[in-house]
Structure 1
Amino acid sequence: MPVAATAPPSRRSLLPLLGPAMVAGVAYLDPGNVASNMSAGAKYGYLLVWVVILGNAMAWLIQYLSAKLGVSTGDSLPGLLGKRFRTRGARYAYWIQAELVAMATDVAEVLGGAIALQLLFNLPLLVGGIITGVVSMLLLLLHSRRGSKPFERVITGLVVIIAVGFCAGILFAPLDGGAAVAGLVPRFEGSGSVLLAASILGATVMPHAIYAHSALTRDRFGFVPEGPARRLVLRATRVDVTIALLIAGTVNVVILLLAASTLQGEAGTTTLEGAHAAIGAALGPVVATLFAVGLLASGLASTSVGAYAGAEIMRGLLHISVPLVVRRIITLIPALAILVIGVDPTLALVLSQVVLSFGIPFALIPLVRLTSRRDLLGESTNRWWTTVLAVIAAVLLIALNITLLVLVTTGV
């Protein structure tokens, strides 16, 4: 519904408008990001702190543009693209790549939840994957039956658990402040550090987060007419995105710092299971348990949001509405199949990030193009410098994803 606003916006008037960005921001706290940041800290210490911060800055701009698109048009990015493709073949081809990216995202998130349940309760990975899928279905049912606000509240609660779980260890870790500050200076140490930097940066902005954020603001606000109402909502959106990305960025930096201070040089810390064991040995079982709880909350929250994005992709591009729970069941199959076959979970996480790399250009380029069109966004059209920054971010992210693909496929 359009939001009426006649008075200058205040903190009190902005508060009820917050929430969608926290849901979209879960994409930056998913198990894939946790694994990348842990590996970076364990292998290279504080070297890549700057990469996490740079990725977060680019993510802020891109997520704001996505949210602005939903507010200003009353439609999502997939919905707008579905209306603009001239042929059914083009629309279906775009849908196939977007659907594959969404499914790859889901694989990483279900695996993360399954690993967490194994760490906490020693459950088989397959059982943990099923439980993760069932809980995510319940969260999606909440969204379908109760609307966006209750869903946002539950996801926000999971984000709090994620933050506590992943950040608790930093209170006991022997941080090297000087090395951490030095990590703000951009530099690399060999091709391995470039690979990890590409993995962190290239997978930071995930396609499904871009698709989802435009849909989340559309579901919450609908089309907001030009004038004071839209300016109020967009100001709230900037605050919302800032809070969400500040939390996500802080957690990701803390994960890297924790790994750098406690895991560097330790054997077997390239996997989530190994990192958990090393954290327990260095900081005690309580911190290790909190880490596993944070990983579980990460898997549950991110897989729910991923399924929401996938349903929006299908509705916007195919012009058919598939119930979220039905789609949840369909997309759960590949992740469970991987667990049944016995593929190494960490390898599956890495491969899922490679698949995500293919989808980055297909989401970023249309987003920048559409938000630059005055005939579509009116007064909310990007300013020239916003478009320039967005193009730079898009080019950098696409280049990094290509680098990631080359390095992974060539085994560098």
Structure 2
Amino acid sequence: MSNSEATLPPQQSWTFAKAEEDARPSLPEVNASVAVPSGGIWFRRMLAFMGPGYMVSVGYMDPGNWATDIAGGSQFGYTLLTVILLSNLMAILLQALAARLGIATGRDLAQACRDTYSKPVNFMLWLACEAAIIACDLAEVIGTAIALQLLFGIPLIGGALITALDAFLLLLLMNKGFRFLEAFVIALLIIIAGCFVIQIAAAAPPVAAVLAGFLPSTEVVTNPAMLYIAIGIIGATVMPHNLYLHSSIVQTRAYKRTDEGKRDAIKWATTDSTIALMLALFINAAILIIAASVFHANGRTDVAEIGQAYELLSPLLGLGIASTLFAVALLASGLNSTVTATLAGQIVMEGFLRLRIPQWARRLITRGIAIVPVVVVTWIYGEKGTAELLVFSQVILSMQLPFAVIPLVRFVSDKRKMGTFVIPKYVAALAWIVAAIIVVLNLKLLYDTFVG
């Protein structure tokens, strides 16, 4: 307690402490910890802001994406490339809005919700976000366990249990500084991209068919099986907890907290996330293109499991190392997603509940919740059960999206919160259209699942 607080009466002292807690910055241990040059060439300033966008992009190419992209490519060829493109454009817009909220207000999305809504509403929003994080963690456990099995022959249940050890990975990286954490993430992204560049070159897909796949098709909405995977792709791409994550980690930069400094920070943060998400677009499209050109083209429309794709990739592609590259990229994806999901969990818990627990404890709790269903499903149904669980986890993510997207769009459209940084009306209209598309697609999926 400070000296000034100690002299206050008990009620005023409590109010002072509450106000001080409300004003606490997001991720206080790393807030404004990355230096930003005040002058010099523009490239140096852009480099200073590079990092958060790539950490966010990790969630857009996690193991859950692999399952939906493989299933979509093997069953429907290149048709669902249009869904990947659409979801990536949605992600670019929404992540730019999340960065703007964090920089303009100094509050992350969870803190902004807590400042605006009642306790019951905030509790429900927190539960929805926690469900999304657990679903994401579920995908990471399955993906990492499959990668360990493919590369080292470790049984799926053993691999799932080993993933509990990564609870200490984030703690180790954070102790070395936030820039070191970003460098670790970017290094793994380079490995993933390199693996897929080689596989795409070997697959040599027909360019005309690939380009046609990016064009919209009404079949995506009218075919229930295609719609299910399409919504899984959207859920795997526009991940709700990434909006909370981005609104927080953009504040790690030590930009001037003035209108001019914030405006400059918003520009570079948006540039950073847009470039990073274009990399995510390449990765997701590459997975689906490989599945379409290798499996669908050879009549293997039944390939929906990562392990199955691994076994068939090298023989059908005629490249001995293809399957190994596939598994290495999957392991790198699982490790990367672990880091960002843990951070998002911390941001959400602190933002909504003001609850601070050690990172390792938070990680063990979340990972433990995710490991249990993986072990049970693997024990009862085998590998096929985990493949279906992986795709289902992405649909759960999509179901949580409105609970993050709608508050975000509302906040950045509110001049009372954003001041001069409020988004233009045409951007607000576009953002509400994106939110409406997500809600309508989810309702269509629910109807087809339970009624149709």
TM-score class normalised by the smaller sequence: over 0.9
Q: 2:231 aligns with which of 198, 205, 208?
A: 198
Look up the match of 1:100: 131
Aligned-residue offset at 1:194: 2.6
Look up the match of 1:355: 396
Preserved contact between residue 62 and residue 334 of structure 2 (Cα < 8 Å): yes
Per-residue displacement from partner, 1:136-192 (whole Å, max 9, x unpaired)? x23311354233211111111111122122332111114122211221221144332
RMSD: 2.1
Inter-partner Cα distance in structure 1 for 2:140 and 2:449: 21
Aligned-residue offset at 1:409: 4.5
Q: 1:266 aligns with which of 292, 295, 300?
A: 300
Where structure 1 has 5 or more consecutive residues not aligned to the other structure, the ranges are none
Look up the match of 1:180: 210
Inter-partner Cα distance in structure 2 for 1:369 and 1:25: 23
Preserved contact between residue 198 and residue 403 of structure 1 (Cα < 8 Å): no
Q: Residue 176 and residue 408 in structure 1: after superposition, are their counterparts in 2 closer, same or farther (change >3 A)?
A: farther
Aligned-residue offset at 1:293: 0.7
| Local SS of the residue matching 1:186 | coil
Preserved contact between residue 167 and residue 255 of structure 1 (Cα < 8 Å): no
Inter-partner Cα distance in structure 1 for 2:123 and 2:285: 39
Correspondence 1:285-300 to 2 at 5 A: 285-300=320-335
Aligned-residue offset at 1:7: 5.5
- Answering whether residue 84 of structure 2 is matched by residue 52 of structure 1, we say yes
Q: Residue 271 and residue 4 in structure 1: after superposition, are their counterparts in 2 closer, same or farther (change >3 A)?
A: closer
- Answering whether residue 267 of structure 2 is matched by residue 235 of structure 1, we say yes
Per-residue displacement from partner, 1:351-403 (whole Å, max 9, x unpaired)? 21232233111100000011112222222211111111111111112222233
2:312 maps to a residue whose letter is: A
Look up the match of 2:382: none
Look up the match of 1:383: 424
Look up the match of 1:149: 179
Q: 1:254 aligns with which of 274, 286, 291?
A: 286
Aligned-residue offset at 1:104: 1.3
Aligned-residue offset at 1:268: 4.3
Q: Residue 138 and residue 202 in structure 1: after superposition, are their counterparts in 2 closer, same or farther (change >3 A)?
A: closer
Q: 1:91 aligns with which of 122, 132, 154?
A: 122
2:87 maps to a residue whose letter is: G
Q: Residue 223 and residue 239 in structure 1: after superposition, are their counterparts in 2 closer, same or farther (change >3 A)?
A: closer
1:280 maps to a residue whose letter is: S
Aligned-residue offset at 1:9: 6.7
Quote the sequence identity (%): 36
Inter-partner Cα distance in structure 2 for 1:76 and 1:333: 26
Inter-partner Cα distance in structure 2 for 1:178 and 1:144: 45
Inter-partner Cα distance in structure 2 for 1:259 and 1:152: 30
TM-score (norm 2): 0.85
Correspondence 1:13-412 to 2 at 5 A: 13-86=45-118, 88-135=119-166, 137-189=167-219, 190-218=223-251, 220-221=252-253, 224-264=256-296, 265-266=299-300, 268-283=302-317, 284-343=319-378, 344-409=385-450
Preserved contact between residue 111 and residue 345 of structure 1 (Cα < 8 Å): yes
TM-score (norm 1): 0.93
Q: Residue 93 and residue 51 in structure 1: after superposition, are their counterparts in 2 closer, same or farther (change >3 A)?
A: closer
| Local SS of the residue matching 1:285 | coil
Stretch of structure 1 that moved more, 8-17 or 50-59: 8-17
Preserved contact between residue 113 and residue 132 of structure 1 (Cα < 8 Å): yes
Preserved contact between residue 94 and residue 431 of structure 2 (Cα < 8 Å): yes
Greater Rg, structure 1 or structure 2?
Answer: 2
Preserved contact between residue 314 and residue 322 of structure 2 (Cα < 8 Å): yes
